[in-house]
Amino acid sequence: MKKPLKLKPSARDKRRYFILSEKSNQKVKAAILKYIGVLGLAKAAYMPVRVPELKNKSVGSCLRSELNSVRAALALAGIKVEKVSNTIKGLHQ
| pLDDT exceeds cutoff 70 at 93 | no
Domain containing residue 29: CATH number: 3.30.70.3250
> What's the Cα-to-Cα distance from 74 to each of 33, 36, 42, 55, rounded to whole Å?
10, 10, 16, 20
Is residue 85 in a domain? yes
Mean pLDDT check: name the lowest of 6-10, 44-48, 81-85: 6-10
**Domain limits for position 63:** 14-92
pTM of the model: 0.85
Q: What is the pLDDT of residues 5-36, one digit of tens each?
A: 888 988 888 999 999 998 888 999 999 999 99
Is residue 1 in a domain? no
Task: Name the percent of the chain lying above pLDDT 90.
Answer: 65
